Amino acid sequence: MQSLRVALGERSYAIHIGSGLMGHAALYAPHLAASAAIVTDEIVGPLYLEKVRRALSPLRATEIIVAAGEESKSWQTLNEVFDRLLAARHGRDTLLVALGGGVVGDLAGFAAAVYQRGIPFIQVPTTLLAQVDSSVGGKTAINHPRGKNMVGAFHQPRAVIADMAALDTLPERELRAGLAEVIKHGLALDGVFTSWLEANMEKLVSRDHAALAYAVQRSCELKAAIVAADERESGERALLNFGHTFGHAIEAAAGYGAWLHGEAVAAGMVMAAELSRTANGLPQADVERVRALVRRAGLPVKGPAVEPQRLIELMATDKKAAQGSVRFVLLKSIGKAVLPTSADAAQVRQAIVAAAQ
């Protein structure tokens, strides 16, 4: 087991990474309260709820099982969580455990942020994406009919327990989508880690626990270093958006839900690498390294079958809402992204076309 500390002053916490961890009572022990509540979903619950409940015993633990999927990031589901907590008379001295992927983490994390003005929570992420992404940063939220993640809070967990064994049951496509974010951390922030990924991609895809544990650990380290310096998201944290300007447009163009977020980011990273070549002098050989790595992870290297103009329009619309110009996180070299810059429209189009070659 590796334990890594996210340094955020009095809100610092540990991320424990290893195989079979979610059943280890000792990892929960330092954070036990008067009672506990476990929030999970209908897919993860049957697989792992009993294991976590046993690790928390003899603490009284209320089990709250929500529907799987993005629809659970809603007022309705959040209110159901509060209703269950209040019906079971949970006070402020309740430890909430979020057992599941990103949806459960966001929902339960936000519930913990505002239930009785805030209770402690532990994250047990069961998808690779949640392990490398939502484990660090303290972002919690629900959706509003008018926009995703429009209502939420920054609420840091007391601990994160990232169990590689949970990934054994993860659908193939979701594993690969999680690898997109791992690759992003390498490409944007760490050339040495990128080389390691190139050397170990087959192990990752075949779910070798040791390889996955290292990939999660290094991803979390890289993200934690940035978040520690920029908890409320202003400067450096933007580097984590490498591939995301294109990625968001791809998700929208394909119709939300058709592409997984990680799949869209994967193709977006290839486009961003192409744009880095023309706009930022990234060598062609490095663009090819990006493309090859994405491909070996089984992820798409080009966007959906729409006109480049459509993606460009979607990016512009996205930014019009934010009253700014379209900006891209580009690579200076492999492992070194630079803060967002505007780009020439012709170059953006060219990058989209080049990625599709």
Token pair recorded at residue 288: 């090819």
Single out the residue of 237, 261, 231, 226 nearest to residue 247, CA to CA. Answer: 261
313 given a catalytic annotation: no
Kindly name the residue from 237, 295, 296, 336 that is annotated as catalytic: 237
Binding a copy of itself by CB under 8 A: which of 29, 150, 210, 292? 150
Asked whether position 83 contacts a copy of itself by CB under 8 A, the answer is: yes
User: Please, are residues 19 and 2 in contact by the beta-carbon 8 Å criterion?
Assistant: no
302 given a catalytic annotation: no
Q: Which stretch binds a copy of itself (CB under 8 A): 147-155, 182-190, 220-228, 283-291?
A: 147-155
Asked whether position 146 contacts a copy of itself by CB under 8 A, the answer is: yes
Binding a copy of itself by CB under 8 A: which of 30, 58, 147, 255? 147
Q: 91-120 mask for a copy of itself (x: CB under 8 A)?
A: x------------------x--xxxxxx--
CA quadruple 334, 336, 339, 344: dihedral sign: negative
Rounded CA separation 169/202 (Å): 18
Rounded CA separation 28/170 (Å): 24
Asked whether position 48 contacts a copy of itself by CB under 8 A, the answer is: no
Q: 153-172 mask for a copy of itself (x: CB under 8 A)?
A: xx------------------
User: CB-based contacts of 107: which residues, under 8 Å, 6+ apart?
Assistant: 39, 66, 72, 73, 77, 78, 81, 98, 140, 142
Single out the residue of 207, 211, 221 nearest to residue 298, CA to CA. Answer: 207
Q: Which is nearer to a copy of itself, 237 or 296 (CB)?
A: 237
Radius of gyration from C-alpha coordinates of the chain = 20
By CB under 8 A, name the binding residues for a copy of itself.
34, 75, 79, 82-83, 86-87, 89, 91, 110, 113-118, 139, 141, 144-147, 149-154, 321-323
> What positions carry a catalytic annotation?
117, 139, 181, 223, 233, 237, 241, 244, 248, 261
